[in-house]
């Protein structure tokens, strides 16, 4: 389980796309940062709690005066949840005394916090990346009216990953979800859009350190 710990980040800090094995909540106590992932780009300012499911991939950019963040245990979730809590200081105090209780209380009392809206062409590109398995990135970018280079820069800034990495992340998410529900590795590979089971095995092991069979048993 995630342990309660506080971290301080300078304005120049940047965390490239990374993932954590366990679910956890990141509560901003002071300052702000931007979090980018397949779920979108969130501005996480003081009072915002971002709940990450296991193995969630995201990148963080700190600016302005940096940020002070408290990581706390939270109830297990299948998807990213971002909320604004009414009293960050009170929640932090509760988290240090009763971590599990704090996580439940935060999600019960908070208000939803939505990501910023990307340009329409970028939203369309992300949708196509998930739907058009056979088309290459350059062709999809052109269908959205932009160059491959512009698409790559925009995706990296907005989602923390290049278009190809976004496509790979989407496939991994689908495969991991299926494996957790008991699907066979071969079925998960096909349904998630991988070329074959060995392809899924290679990427899953690189991302999590586990094979599909091992992942299913965790």
pTM across the whole model: 0.89
Residue with tokens 């790979």: 168
Residues 152-177: tens digit of each pLDDT: 999 999 999 999 999 999 999 999 99
Inter-residue contact 121 to 145 (CB < 8 Å) = yes
What domain range includes position 127?
120-216
- The vertex-174 CA angle with 172 and 180, nearest 5°, equals 100
Residue 34, helix vs strand vs coil: strand
Inter-residue contact 48 to 83 (CB < 8 Å) = yes
Q: Answer whether residue 1 shows pLDDT above 60.
A: no
Domain boundary among 112, 140, 167: 112
Give the per-residue pLDDT at 133: 65
Same structural domain, 30 and 51: yes
Inter-residue contact 125 to 141 (CB < 8 Å) = yes
Same structural domain, 38 and 130: no
Residues 109-124: tens digit of each pLDDT: 778 999 999 999 999 9
Q: Round to whole Å and give the CA distance between 38 and 77.
A: 16
β-pairing, 5-9 vs 14-19, is unpaired
Number of domains in the chain: 2
Contact residues for 153 (Cβ-Cβ < 8 A; gap 6+): none
Q: Answer whether residue 217 shows pLDDT above 90.
A: no
* Bigger pLDDT: 135 vs 73: 73
CATH of residue 159: 1.10.10.60
CATH of residue 41: 2.60.120.10
Same structural domain, 106 and 133: no
Residue 209, helix vs strand vs coil: coil
Strands (E) located in 53-183: 57-72, 81-84, 111-112
């Amino acid at each position: 389980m995630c342990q309660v710990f506080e971290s301080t980040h300078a304005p120049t800090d940047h965390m490239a796309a990374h993932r954590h094995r366990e679910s956890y909540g990141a509560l901003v106590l002071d300052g702000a940062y931007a979090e980018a992932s397949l779920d979108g780009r969130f501005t996480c300012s003081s009072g915002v709690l971002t709940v990450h499911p296991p193995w969630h991939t995201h990148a963080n950019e700190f600016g302005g005066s940096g940020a002070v963040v408290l990581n706390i245990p939270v109830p297990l979730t299948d998807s990213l949840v971002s909320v604004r809590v009414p009293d960050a200081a009170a929640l932090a105090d509760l988290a240090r005394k009763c971590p599990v209780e704090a996580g439940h209380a935060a999600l019960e009392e908070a208000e939803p916090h939505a990501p910023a809206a990307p340009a329409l062409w970028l939203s369309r590109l992300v949708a196509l990346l998930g739907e058009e398995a056979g088309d290459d990135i350059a062709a999809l970018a052109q269908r959205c009216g932009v160059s491959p280079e512009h698409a790559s820069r925009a995706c990296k800034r907005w989602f923390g990953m290049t278009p190809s990495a976004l496509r790979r992340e989407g496939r991994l998410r689908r495969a991991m979800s299926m494996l957790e529900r008991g699907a066979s590795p071969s079925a998960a590979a096909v349904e998630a859009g991988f070329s074959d089971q060995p392809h899924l095995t290679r990427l899953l092991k690189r991302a999590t350190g586990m094979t599909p069979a091992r992942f299913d048993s965790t």
